[in-house]
Structure formats: C-alpha cells, structure tokens
Structure 1
Amino acid sequence: MNLACYPRFVDSPYLPTSYRPDLQGIRALAVILVIFSHAGISGFAGGFIGVDIFFVLSGFVITSLLLRQPQGNFLSNLKVFYTRRILRILPAATLVLVVTPLAAFFLIGDAMDPALLSDVRWANLFAANWNLINNGSSYFVAGVNPSLVTHFWSLAVEEQFYILFPSTVFVFSYFKFLYKHKIYFQLFLIVIIAISAWWSLTITTSSPVEAYYSPFTRFWELAIGALIASVSIQLNKLMTHLFDGIGFALIILSLAILSPTSHYPGTLAWFPVCGTALLILTGTSSSTGLTKRFLSLKVMSTIGDLSYSLYLWHFIWIAIPPLVFTGLDPLWLIFLGIFGAVLTGLLSYHFLENPFRHSEKLRGDPFSVFILLGICLVLVWDSTLITNWLATR
C-alpha cells in the first residue's frame, strides 16, 4: 500500500474523473437502508446509517469536483459550484415540498399535523435540522408520527456544510504556498474531523436530538469523505480484498447492532463511516473485491442514479398511507410505500431532476439559476399558504 499526498490541487491523476459504478452502488445501498428502516422492515431498524453513508460519499464526490476546478478563479469557481448545486438539488426538492402539504390536506385532512406548514417552510430554507432541534423532535419517539419532511434534515446538513466548504477549498488553491503543499488542506480537514467528532461524542448522551441533527456533530463525516478525496492511496490486491471485506462488514455490523434506542451518533457512527470510507478507497484500486462487484451491478448503479429522488419521495409514501388505509395489512402498506416511492422517484428523476441538472443553457447562465432559486422558494411558500387557506375555509 502506497499513501501519498497530492502535490497539487488540480491535474492529479488520482482524482476520480471517470464514472464509478461502485459509487452509485454505495448510494443505492444507503437509500435502500434508509427506506427499509423508515418502512419498518424487520432487520433494518439500524438503517438510519444510510444517512451517514450519504454524508461520507457526498464529502468525497463534492471535494473531488472542487479539487478539479482551475486554480485562482475564486469567484468564477464559486459561481460554477453553486450553479450546479442548485440545479442538482433544488427542482426535485421543491416539487416534493410543494406536493407534501397539499397531499396531506387532501388525503388525511384533520389528521394533518398543524406544524407541517411551518416544517415545510423550514425545509424550504434548508434549515429543517435546526427546526427539529428547536422543537426537540426525533424520528425515534415511540407512538409519535414524525413530520412528513423530517428527512429533509440531512439535506440541510449537507447544504450548510457546502455554504462554507467550497470557499475554503478555493482559498487553499488560490494562495500559492498552500496550493503547492496540499498537506495544509489535509491538516485543516483533520482538525474539522477532530473537533466535530469530539463534539458529537460529548453531547450524544446529554442532548441526543441536537447530536443527531446538528451540522456541528455531523461535519466530521463529510470531512472524512473530503479527506479521502485529497489523498492518493494505492492498494495492492491483498489490501483491496481486505479493506473491501472490512468495509462491508462494518456496515452490516452497524445495521445489526444499532436501533432507535442507540446513543447515536457518538462513537457508534464511526462504524458505518469507516466502512463507507474503506469501500470508497477500495473502489480506486484496479483490483476488484466482492463488495465492489456487488456495488457495481447494473441494478445497484441504477438505484444509485435514482437515490436522490427516491430519498425525497419515500417518506410521504411511507407516512401517509397508514393514516388513510387504517385497516390495510402492514405488508401491503410497505409494498405501497416502496412502490409509490419508486414510481414518483422515476418520474421525478427522468422529467425533473435530469433535465435541470444537465441543462447546458442553465449551467451557463448563473443569473437565470438564481432566478430559479427565488421561484422555487416562492412556490413552496405559496403551497403552504394555499394549504392553510383550504384548511381554514
């Protein structure tokens, strides 16, 4: 095994510039775990670790993209990054937030949580996690139905991380003495990891809701992904198979031992985080372990492609039907939830997410994209106003 630091921020042969189906497979694994956990499928109580997997993978992918940006063009690089980020995240999220309150009103009526409209507005600002912290809300309180947009907390954490992190990367690339020695950037990431992980460990028991949802207790997971993107680790065949097996085993172990009553994230989050990190590392090797083969299967990469839309849509399909079809067998409710999530996820991916994400016209016109941002914010706000008007008639 050979570990080396990149001497430059760009033009490194190790940065992942080509499509990696195993990364899509990791996304698929993450979203499957989350959906099965929320659906209440036996054996997947610990499936909330899928969010941790997403965090590490997101840190790796986004940092890899940032490190390939041209040196010195600070404002231009920021503009490109945020333009692409808005096109990637916002259109599909906006549709879900517009539909959710209206669907809740028409389908469950008086059973709709009065706080839902406020929750949607917080989610619209990518601040759902702070709303949950302020309200002391949790996924895991027995007998209490979580908000229909609770799952937007993880998107909020990611976007809060990416408010500042790209600027930091480009600052390091702007100054020549930092640009020449990437070790400074890596030390910076290690400091973030140490402080954030320490804070997570410190408050997990005393303030479990804050520990679970706060960006400050989760940034270390994204930073680990970023750190992996900034180093070159060349594994031989033996180490590839070893890390491949250990990485997958850590994720399966996490799934087996964790439950809604676990003190999480704390120290326990290190199991899925390290497992994901090892799977990402082994994916860069020319050798192929069993897990990489599994993750690279066509079905896994396809689910990975759909993972964002699936994640956005799954929760309302799992949470609303039990309130509508009160006498329906739980197995049918699970089937309906997963089928609905897949159907709407497919439609959203093909007709909304992809057209905006790959629009060359919009990607080359940041001004129009920021106009789009404003339109999306207004649409969600109007949806809550209309729902409130209907409910008070």
Structure 2
Amino acid sequence: MVLFEHFGGYPVKYLSTGYYGVDLFLVISGFLITTILLKDKQERFWDSYRIFMGRRFLRIFPLYYAVIAFILIVNITGARDLSIWLLTYTFNYGAVIYNETHENNPIFYLWSLSLEEQFYLFWPLIAICLKKKPRILFGVTFGIVCIGFLQSTHSIFPGLAKFNYTGLVSRMGSLGLGALAATYLRIGTLPTAFFRNRLVELLAFGLLAFSLLASYPYPYRPVFLGLVSLYLVIKATQFEFRLPGVQRALTHRAVVYIGSISYGIYLMHMPFGALMTEYVFDPLWNKIPFASAGPLAVIQYHSWLLKLPLYSGVSILMAALSFRYFEQPILKLKDKWFRYPAKNR
C-alpha cells in the first residue's frame, strides 16, 4: 500500500493507501512488541529491558543508518540540513518544524521510523513494569489509546496539533490498539462468534474501503482505520479469514517472504525512486515522441503505469539482497549477545 502511494501516480489522489499502510503497521507493531514483552519470564526489569532493546537495535539500527549514510552522501533534497533529526530518530518532529512534507521531500517517509523507535524506547518501560499486573496494564493502555485518538481527532493538546500526523502522542492511538489487544489476550477470552462471523469480516473490509475512499469519516478516519486494523490483526493471528482467497493469499510463501524483508523495502524504496526518477527515468521518458503516438499519447501523463511495477520490483530485489547479505548476518548476533533464557522459549 505504501509502494502504491509513492509510485502509483494519479490514482492515489483518491485514496489513502500510504496512510493506511503505515497505520496498519503501527497496530501490528504494538501487538507484536507487547506480546514479546509480556512473554518474557525474567524477574529483573533491567534484564528484560536490556535484552529487548539489544535485539531491537540489531534489527533496526544497522540498515537504518546504512540508508541514512547513503541519503546524506548523495544529499537527497537537502537531507544534510536535516541530518541531526535523521541521526537521532527525531525526524518525525524535525520534518514538521522545517515544513517538509511528503509533497516536497522524498525522505519524509522516514518520520514513521523515528516514531517507531520512540515507541520502542518508552513503551517497554511501562509494559515490563506492569507485565505481572495485566489488568492494570490494560487500563493504562486503554487510557493511552483514548488520549492518542483524542489528540489526532480533536487536538486536546493544542501545542502538539501540528505534529498530529507524525507525533508519538497522536499515533499512540494505533500503536496502543495493538498493545491493547496483546494485553487483553493475557486476561480475557475473545468473542469467538464475532471473529468467526463471515459477515463481520465482510463489513470490516467494507469499512476499510469506505474510510479510504470517502471524505465523510474526517476527522474520525484515524479511529475507523485503527479499529479495522485491530480487527485484522486479531483475525490474522488468532483466527482464519473466511472470505474466499484471503487466508490463502496471506499465507502464500511469496507474501510471507515479502513480510520478512518489508523493513528493507520500506527503507530503500524512496531514495531509489527519487534518484531513479531524476537521473534515469524522467530524462528517458521525456525523450519519447509521444506527440506522434496518436491516441496513445495520453500515456505521457501516466508514467506511473511503468514506475509502479518497475520501482516496486527493484525495491523488493534490493531488500532481498540486503536481507540475505547484510541483515541476516547481523541478526545472528541476537542470540549471541542478547539471548533470552530457555524458560522464555
């Protein structure tokens, strides 16, 4: 969905695929991270926090800083002017302060990775401290979710309003929903009839399509999309989809592999796309004599038809190579340096 947003051209004018792709990722992340933290059987807070953060750092930092180094070397759209924000994982605020948006800066997408790292730093402090009191953790998480969505929809903290799209406070609505689901699974039983109902599943996808296409849900679109994401995450991890083809698609080997390299795809797709467009694609595209193409001349204004599959395919290829030859050797250090004790597994 993010690739379609960034490379899809004209059609994305009527959709919010990139926004939802990131929002779904935030709910997944909140669910996954909280599940990991609550499964940790260690008694001492520092041991839990050290191992969790060490494993996260090995997963995130090497590739992130490699891509940032590349971006700074080639200086994509003045990236060097924002280097401090990029290097310190505060770009989600720096981009807004310097009035950089997705419309005028191809590295704007990196705001979400800054947001994610900030979540990794503060959320374990709460989850680990309260993991033995899941009911209290559930109440705290519910309060955080409410604050997050109130900020994103009604700006209850006016001073943070300009950061509603990228800030941690507002985005804790979606991150918190995932954490809320993981916490609930420790204390309660999900309504099986509800989650196995095919009509509910159909309505969820219908609500998703409505929220992406229609302007009506504003300013409550973040809430609608967050709840749909919550349903889909629970459905995917605890049940099976019943609509034809959905379960088969999600469990297909190719789709699962794309998921395993998705971090690399996300990190590398925009720098590649920006450089490819400026130095290769547009110079060649502009030399094509579309005026003599007759009715097909309209293709001149729809270069996205070629960019979308080409850029997406190369992004996936680069991520696959990165995962195989750069990320995996580093990931092997997880169990060497930050191994969970046997009782956790």
Same fold, TM exceeding 0.5? yes
Residue 277 of structure 1 and its aligned partner are, at CA, apart by 0.7
Larger relative contact order (C-alpha < 8 A, sep ≥ 6)? 1
Q: Given the alignment, which residue of 160, 180, 201 partners 1:227?
A: 180
Report the Cα distance in structure 2 between the residues aligned to 1:41 and 1:87, rounded to whole angstroms: 35
Give the 5 Å matches for 1:72-83: 72-83=43-54
Work out the number of aligned pairs and report it.
309
Q: Given the alignment, which residue of 185, 203, 214 partners 2:155?
A: 203
Q: Given the alignment, which residue of 334, 339, 343 partners 2:308?
A: 334
User: TM-score under structure 1 normalisation?
Assistant: 0.72
Q: Which amino acid aligns with 2:259?
A: G
Residue 354 of structure 1 and its aligned partner are, at CA, apart by 2.0
Report the Cα distance in structure 2 between the residues aligned to 1:209 and 1:320, rounded to whole angstroms: 30
Structure with the largest fraction of helix = 2
Match of 1:129 in 2: 92
User: TM-score under structure 2 normalisation?
Assistant: 0.81
Q: Which residues of structure 1 form unaligned runs of 5+? A: 1-32, 106-111, 174-178, 366-393
Paired residues of 2:27 and 2:177 also in contact (CA < 8 A) = yes
Report the Cα distance in structure 2 between the residues aligned to 1:286 and 1:195, rounded to whole angstroms: 29
Q: Residue 308 in 1 paired to residue 308 in 2? A: no
Report the Cα distance in structure 1 between the residues aligned to 2:211 and 2:326, rounded to whole angstroms: 34
Q: Residue 193 in 1 paired to residue 145 in 2? A: yes
Report the Cα distance in structure 2 between the residues aligned to 1:159 and 1:184, rounded to whole angstroms: 24
Paired residues of 1:137 and 1:209 also in contact (CA < 8 A) = no
Q: 1:298 to 1:252 in 2, by over 3 A?
A: farther
Q: Which amino acid aligns with 2:264?
A: S
Match of 2:227 in 1: 274
Report the Cα distance in structure 2 between the residues aligned to 1:75 and 1:234, rounded to whole angstroms: 32
Q: Which amino acid aligns with 2:163?
A: E
Match of 2:288 in 1: none
Q: Which residues of structure 2 form unaligned runs of 5+? A: 286-302, 341-345
Q: Which amino acid aligns with 2:139?
A: L
Paired residues of 1:250 and 1:274 also in contact (CA < 8 A) = no
Paired residues of 1:87 and 1:356 also in contact (CA < 8 A) = yes
Deviation by residue 1:130-165 (Cα, 9 ceiling, x = unmatched): 11121122214xxxx31x432111011111122111
Give the 5 Å matches for 1:1-393: 33-44=1-12, 45-48=15-18, 49-102=20-73, 104=74, 113=77, 115-140=78-103, 145-146=104-105, 148-173=106-131, 179=132, 181-203=133-155, 209-232=162-185, 233-236=189-192, 239-240=195-196, 241-257=198-214, 266-290=219-243, 291-325=246-280, 326-329=282-285, 330=303, 331-359=305-333, 360-364=335-339
Report the Cα distance in structure 2 between the residues aligned to 1:348 and 1:287, rounded to whole angstroms: 32
Report the Cα distance in structure 2 between the residues aligned to 1:135 and 1:287, rounded to whole angstroms: 45
